Amino acid sequence: MSTSNDGWGSRVGLILAMAGNAVGLGNFLRFPVKAVENGGGTFIIPYLVSFLVMGIPLLWVEWSMGRFGGKFGDHSTPFILDNITKKRIWKYFGVFGIFTNLGVMAYYTYIESWTLTYTLKSLKGDFSGKKIDEVGVMFDQYVDIGAASGINFPIWALVAFVITLCLNIYILSRGLNDGIEKVAKFAMPLLIIFGAFLAIKAVFLGSTGNCADCDSHIGLNFLWEPHYETLWDPKVWLEAAGQIFFTLSVGMGTIQCYSSYLKSKDDVALNAMSAGWMNGFVEIVLGASVVIPIAVGYMGLDWVKENAGFMMAFKTMPYLFDQWGPTMSVISGVAWFGLLFFAGITSSLAMGTPWMGFMKDEFKWSNNKSAWTLGLLLFFMALPTIFFFEKGVFDEYDYWTGTVSLVIFAFAEVILFAWVFGIDNAWEEITRGADMKVPGFYKYILKFVTPVFIGVILFTSLFKPKDWASPFKREGGWNWADDSIINQIFHLNNEVIWFSEHGATNMFYIDMSRVFLLAIFIGLCALVKIASNKRKKAKLANS
């Protein structure tokens, strides 16, 4: 446990940092795409229901757990979980709260570096007069997609990544108050201003005359037109619940780490609501109003239906902004990539704190030492995602650390808090010092509905079939979806071939990246074991 005197400067700073942790690239790029794929405007109904019965309870659980752990001087999930129960195995579930952040921060910082580079490119006017294909090629060249060797070696992207990583590490080394909080107080208002500027531009864009249906209002209609029949489709509900999971950054261990610096008499209920709804505002009001309407405004609905996805941010948006003339193109480009950069860095900083908290608490490392060792570790973890980007390693990191780990950890922590710790103790923790009246029915939602909700997500992620309507193959047996966890582990849909006449296959790189991630997880478990033994020795020495 720690004797650290690190802490927050102000309540608003904490809320902005928590909201910054949640607000990420997905608010602007994942949410609108999920909405158009799952019933348009109707998607908001399962989305809000998931927020109310899973998102809010999970936020309260994580804020309360963190504050509870902080009482014992613990600032990372292994020993926060350990404080809640006498069963020592739970601290190894807490390892997910460090592992997830290391894995995600490694590839997320790489994306963040793209947004930094593209902010500068927009400022320099590099996209001026370029056709949409040329903008796409510029991005491919930047990350070295299509390299003859099959190995990506993007020298400038690598330099930008190192600069972005160093910036993150420097801010983390300054601590919570002088580093993270100051950035959040500056970045979050700017992000909202940039987002509001682009959303207003999109709403008032209207018809551009580029094609028959090139009209931003058609884009908005596409997003918001309700298709009520989709409410009966379980896939839509799963997608909405999944989106709530990822947008709130629950199941990562970052919220516990941030709230562990709160005193036990201070509020968590209102803080959690404020930060959670702020994330919702950025996603539903700003995020939904930028990419799809502007893209439909210039490219038409059919083009957007075919091409909507994450890479539109880099391959399409600069071209669209260029249609607004040279000055507005620069302003809009800086606003767009600037907001993505701020969304990214406020999240990546949060991901760095669990490792820092753990090393400071257990091994008495300084802020500087914890931060720069984190930087070194992340550098080596990120290299495979950069060099083997096209081999699928980047997506593999995202799948295991940015998707699967979150669900496993969230399921474990809600069971631990509501059932092992006990719902009465849990309720006492959530409501102590609350600056709002927490509705009593949430006690039952937390005990029954939230675990079932997350359990269903975990179960369906494990056993997801290609088609829920006909889950069995004609010849017999379960028809596994490619992204079901069981299929991913055992490669049931593909023959395992590591080498062909052309050398190592993508599967070889993917499996090696899994071995690497597993080794990181085992290494973290070993560190937790060492820390636990140190605690036992210290306890014996004191008794």
Partner 1 sequence: MTTSALILMIVVQATVTVVTGYFFFKVLKTPPNAEPDSFSDND
Question: Rounded to the nearest whole angstrom, what is the least distance from the CB of residue 220 to partner 1 in the complex?
Answer: 6
Nearer to partner 1 by Cβ, of 249 and 405: the residue is 249
**Which of these segments, 40-48, 328-336, 386-394, 532-540, binds partner 1 (CB under 8 A)?**
40-48
Instruction: Judge residue 465's burial from the number of C-beta atoms within 10 Å of its C-beta, 0-12 exposed, 13-18 middle, 19 or more buried.
Output: middle
Sign of CA dihedral 122, 123, 126, 131: positive
Does position 33 interact with partner 1 (CB under 8 A)? The reply is no
Does position 41 interact with partner 1 (CB under 8 A)? The reply is yes
509: tokens are 């790189």
Which of 119, 243, 271, 461 binds partner 1 (CB under 8 A)? It is: 271
358: tokens are 């753990």
Span 159-188, contacts to partner 1 by CB under 8 A? 177
Does position 220 interact with partner 1 (CB under 8 A)? The reply is yes
Does position 73 interact with partner 1 (CB under 8 A)? The reply is no
Which of 280, 297, 318, 338 binds partner 1 (CB under 8 A)? It is: 280
Going by the DSSP 8-state scheme, the letter that residue 422 receives in this structure is: T
Residue 482 CB: number of other CB atoms within 10 A?
A: 11
Which of 87, 131, 263, 491 binds partner 1 (CB under 8 A)? It is: 263
Nearer to partner 1 by Cβ, of 281 and 516: the residue is 281
Nearer to partner 1 by Cβ, of 435 and 467: the residue is 435
Does position 225 interact with partner 1 (CB under 8 A)? The reply is yes
Q: Which residue has the tokens 């793209």?
A: 114
Which of 73, 125, 150, 226 binds partner 1 (CB under 8 A)? It is: 226
Going by the DSSP 8-state scheme, the letter that residue 440 receives in this structure is: T
Which of 73, 125, 150, 433 binds partner 1 (CB under 8 A)? It is: 433
Does position 305 interact with partner 1 (CB under 8 A)? The reply is no
Does position 189 interact with partner 1 (CB under 8 A)? The reply is no
**SS in 3 state form for 149-192?**
CCCCCCHHHHHHHHHHHHHHHHHHHCHHHHHHHHHHHHHHHHHH
Does position 457 interact with partner 1 (CB under 8 A)? The reply is no
**Which of these segments, 240-248, 277-285, 339-347, 384-392, binds partner 1 (CB under 8 A)?**
277-285
Q: Which residue has the tokens 């000055």?
A: 327
In angstroms, the Cα distances linking 508 to 259, 490, 500, 505, 513 are 41, 14, 10, 5, 9
**Which of these segments, 37-45, 53-61, 457-465, 493-501, binds partner 1 (CB under 8 A)?**
37-45
Question: Rounded to the nearest whole angstrom, what is the least distance from the CB of residue 20 to partner 1 in the complex?
Answer: 14
**Which of these segments, 274-282, 341-349, 399-407, 473-481, binds partner 1 (CB under 8 A)?**
274-282
Does position 488 interact with partner 1 (CB under 8 A)? The reply is no
Nearer to partner 1 by Cβ, of 143 and 176: the residue is 176
**CA nearest to 68, candidates 417, 490, 511:** 417
Nearer to partner 1 by Cβ, of 142 and 277: the residue is 277
> Can you name the residues that pair with 504 across neighbouring β-strands?
499
> Can you name the residues that pair with 472 across neighbouring β-strands?
478
Does position 52 interact with partner 1 (CB under 8 A)? The reply is no
The gap from C-alpha 113 to its chain's centroid, in whole angstroms, comes to 16
Query: Phi then psi for 241, rounded to 5 degrees?
Result: -65, -40
Query: Phi then psi for 40, rounded to 5 degrees?
Result: 60, -125
**CA nearest to 395, candidates 305, 309, 493, 501:** 309
H helices of 38-131, where?
44-50, 56-71, 77-84, 90-93, 96-124
Identify the H or E element spanning 536: helix 506-542
Q: Which residue has the tokens 């090629």?
A: 137
Does position 40 interact with partner 1 (CB under 8 A)? The reply is yes
Nearer to partner 1 by Cβ, of 55 and 375: the residue is 55
Nearer to partner 1 by Cβ, of 226 and 471: the residue is 226
| Binding residues for partner 1 (CB under 8 A) | 7-15, 40-41, 44, 177, 217-218, 220-221, 223-226, 261-263, 265-267, 270-271, 273-274, 277-278, 280-281, 284-285, 288, 433, 435-436
